[in-house]
């Protein structure tokens, strides 16, 4: 959740629901003020739409015509609450349109459809069209956390969505297009397994941070502006 790497322009996750939205707007404002061609892309779930940051962020982004792409991963359940029980308007893209932010719905279980929509929308943003929102309608197969008994949904619903698994659909599409073969898939899976094993081994030989590190990066360095 708290991964961060400014060198790769990845500005981290956020433990606060909706907390990444205003940060993305700030990054987009910086891009515009510095006359850069970058776009701030912000990913959040439909649960964040109930937070004030969502509305404030979309309003300012459109008001200032900022280069930011809002991507809502609408998986129907904000932890354990179905969207219709918390939102009087469950269609997220309509909320965005109320702020004059161009928005559209895309099948979030279709990798190719998402890529196509994102490429088109980003071209419009870079052309000076201001912010945009993609509502990716998707689903999570597993529990929200290890403490989630999933009493809020039926198993049949989960199984129905599993038939639309995005990885399986991409696999089928790539095979049909002739860009993926069995040998390619075996190589990819072997590389992924090796990377996981290396990561686990690295973690297991790691050590606890010393107590002296507790305050590092918490306070500004002496003499900092």
Residues 158-181: tens digit of each pLDDT: 999 999 999 999 999 999 999 999
Helices and strands counted in the chain (H then E):
7, 6
| pLDDT (0 to 100) of residue 13 | 84
| pLDDT (0 to 100) of residue 34 | 96
User: How many angstroms separate the CA atoms of 46 and 136, rounded?
Assistant: 10
| pLDDT (0 to 100) of residue 74 | 97
**pTM reported for the whole predicted model:** 0.88
User: How many angstroms separate the CA atoms of 110 and 122, rounded?
Assistant: 18
| pLDDT (0 to 100) of residue 195 | 98
Does domain 6-153 fall under CATH 3.40.50.970? My reply is yes
In this structure, are residues 53 and 45 in contact, taking their beta carbons and an 8 Å threshold?
A: no
Positions in the chain whose pLDDT score sits under 50: none
Count CB neighbours of 201 within 10 A: 10
Rounded to the nearest 5 degrees, what angle is found at the Cα of 101, between the Cα atoms of 123 and 135? 80
| pLDDT (0 to 100) of residue 223 | 65
Strand 132-137 relative to strand 68-74, pairing: parallel
> What spatial distance separates the first Cα and last Cα of the chain, rounded to whole Å?
29
| pLDDT (0 to 100) of residue 197 | 98
142: which 2 tokens? 């597993």
155: which 2 tokens? 């198993």
Residues 98-118: tens digit of each pLDDT: 999 999 999 999 999 999 999
Residues 17-27: tens digit of each pLDDT: 999 999 999 99
| pLDDT (0 to 100) of residue 225 | 57
**In the chain, where does DSSP find H-type helix?**
20-33, 52-63, 92-97, 111-124, 155-162, 166-177, 182-204
What's the mean per-residue pLDDT of the chain?
Answer: 93
User: How many angstroms separate the CA atoms of 216 and 147, rounded?
Assistant: 32
| pLDDT (0 to 100) of residue 190 | 97
Count CB neighbours of 27 within 10 A: 21
């Amino acid at each position: 959740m708290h991964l961060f790497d400014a060198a790769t322009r990845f500005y981290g996750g956020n433990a606060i629901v909706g907390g990444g939205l205003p940060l993305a707007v700030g990054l987009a404002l910086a891009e515009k003020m510095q006359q850069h061609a970058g776009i701030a892309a912000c990913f959040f779930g439909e649960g964040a739409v109930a937070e004030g940051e969502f509305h404030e962020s979309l309003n300012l982004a459109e008001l200032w015509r900022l280069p930011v792409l809002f991507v809502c991963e609408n998986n129907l359940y904000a932890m354990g609450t179905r969207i219709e029980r918390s939102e009087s308007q469950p269609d997220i893209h309509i909320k965005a349109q109320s702020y004059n932010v161009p928005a559209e719905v895309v099948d979030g279980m279709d990798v190719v459809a998402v890529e196509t929509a994102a490429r088109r929308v980003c071209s419009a943003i870079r052309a000076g069209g201001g912010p945009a929102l993609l509502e990716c309608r998707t689903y999570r197969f597993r529990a929200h956390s290890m403490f989630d008994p999933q009493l809020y949904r039926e198993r049949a619903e989960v199984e129905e969505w599993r038939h639309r698994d995005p990885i399986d659909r991409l696999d089928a599409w790539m095979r049909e297009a002739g860009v993926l073969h069995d040998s390619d898939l075996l190589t990819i899976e072997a590389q992924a397994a090796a990377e996981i094993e290396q990561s686990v081994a690295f973690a297991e030989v790691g050590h606890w941070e010393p107590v002296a590190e507790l305050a590092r990066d918490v306070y500004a360095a002496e003499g900092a502006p």
